Amino acid sequence: MKAISWNVNGLRAVLTKGFYDFLEKEEPDFLALQEIKATEDQVYIDDHGYNLYWNSAERKGYSGTMIFAKNKPLNVIYGMNGLHNDEGRIITLEYETFYFVTCYVPNSKDGLLRLPYRMEFEDAMREYLSSLKEKKHVVYCGDLNVAHNEIDLKNPSIHHFDAGFSDEEREKFGLLLDSGFTDTFRYLYPDQVKYSWWSYRANARANNVGWRIDYFVVDNDYRNHIEDSLILNDVYGSDHCPVVLLFNP
């Protein structure tokens, strides 16, 4: 199976930037989108034969997630069983042997103004994923808004107190991994430097001054199902690039 996760930074915008060409070329079993900033009534989507699942934020033009899935799930969960769902950040699709979860983790904002909520969200998400793991395998993806280690961003020394690389955020991601989950890209490529997000400022993408904040994570018992974990940094259309998991279900 092929699963792709992509923060599109606006669904309506990316549709004009080769989105359908990308979909037709890659033909994923799952395409999980974050930061869609749209509702179903605001944009027409050619589903290309996929089943579509939306979780839009209550606030217009903000946040939101979406999944294109080739196969219909047994069940769909929005939020964490209804919790933390006003910003449309989480969709879970349940299949026979695994859960497929996408998430757009809250940004802590400049000055870490939203860090307390981020910490609350992280704890709840870890508990939610752990509860799923007790029932079936878990494939978890999305813009997790954290560069876990110094190898995961260009200039770590100047970002220790910035959103996405604060000690608190990195610790929470570490706690998730310690609770029985694996960062698939770093598991396969412990020393490879690749990024998935670049600021729009100062030609950051052209100079590859980026951060790896988009992930595929699986429960540890599912690691032997991983075939590859990729970062498609030659795909444009957003300030993020897509990330890919190839796995044997």
DSSP annotation of 177: H
Selection from 213, 113, 234 nearest residue 154 by Cα: 213
d(CA 107, CA 114): 7
Per DSSP, which regions of the chain are E strands? 2-7, 30-34, 51-55, 65-69, 75-78, 90-94, 98-104, 137-143, 181-183, 197-198, 210-211, 214-219, 226-231, 243-247
Selection from 14, 76, 25 nearest residue 48 by Cα: 25
Could you list the active site residues? Answer: 104, 143
